[in-house]
Amino acid sequence: MTTTIMNHNKVDQDHMALLSQLYYTQMVPQQGEPKPRRRRKKNKGAENGVTGAKKRKLSADQVNLLEMNFGNEHKLESERKDKLASELGLDPRQVAVWFQNRRARWKNKKLEEEYTKLKTAHETNIIEKCRLESEVLKLKEKLLEAEKEIQRLTEKIDGVSSNSCSSTLSMNTPFLGEFGMEGIGDIFYMSETNYIHGMEWSNLYV
């Protein structure tokens, strides 16, 4: 049974964590209703000689060995716990508690690292967003300039056509002739569907 329980999968752990969190944030009285503080039994260890008030801080060697074991495997099977406890001259309960606390510290550290990573990524994204927004502004300015130029040329063409042009072709391919590009006029009349009229193309980019 022990090993089965030890093999709780991550989903179960997360589920329990969530439930526990829910319990403490929702079931336990929160603000305005001060929750009763749990009282610890005084000097329980002093009576059984295992965890007296003076018995604190594991030695450096003990911690080293515990750390080595934790490095290999964060979970502690009862067999390994007993073995470790006898090697360290500690109560198996102490070894279990040490692993419990070590897992909590490890998790906190991981959360901090994850937070730092996400924060850095967020800041990078903000910078990139600013850069892109600035680029969009520049492009809009360019577009405005282009539209003005087209408008200027259109007006110029209208002036010319109203004075001298009478054929359809010359009206629809107005100014190309001025630059010796008469043949290119056909390009603008490929098909009804492909034709983009006037300044519509520019709206595609706004």
Partner DNA sequence: TCCGGCGAAGTGTTACATCA
Partner DNA sequence: GTGATGTAACACTTCGCCGG
Q: Which of 64, 100, 125, 203 binds DNA (CB under 7 A)?
A: 100
**How many CB atoms within 10 Å of residue 169?**
13
40, amino acid identity: R
| Minimum distance from residue 131 beta carbon to DNA (Å) | 38
Q: What does the DSSP 8-state code read for residue 131? A: H
Q: Which of 64, 86, 87, 105 binds DNA (CB under 7 A)?
A: 105
Q: Which of 4, 166, 168, 193 binds DNA (CB under 7 A)?
A: 4
51 scored as a contact of DNA (CB under 7 A) = yes
Which ranges constitute the DSSP H helices of the chain?
A: 2-6, 10-22, 44-48, 60-72, 78-88, 92-164, 168-172, 200-203
45 scored as a contact of DNA (CB under 7 A) = yes
Judged by CB under 7 A, which stretch of 40-48, 115-123, 149-157, 197-205 contacts DNA?
A: 40-48
Q: Which residues contact 71 (CB under 8 A, 6 or more apart)?
A: none
16 scored as a contact of DNA (CB under 7 A) = yes
Q: Which residue lies nearer to DNA by CB, 45 or 177?
A: 45
Give the side-chain half-sphere CA count within 13 A for 111: 6
Q: What does the DSSP 8-state code read for residue 27? A: I
| Minimum distance from residue 81 beta carbon to DNA (Å) | 8
For the packed helices 92-164 and 60-72, what is the interaxial angle rounded to 10 degrees? 50
Q: Which residue lies nearer to DNA by CB, 107 or 122?
A: 107
Task: Summarize as ranges the residues that interact with DNA (CB under 7 A).
Answer: 1-2, 4-6, 8, 12-13, 15-17, 19-21, 23-24, 37-45, 51, 53-58, 63, 75-76, 78, 93-94, 96-105, 107
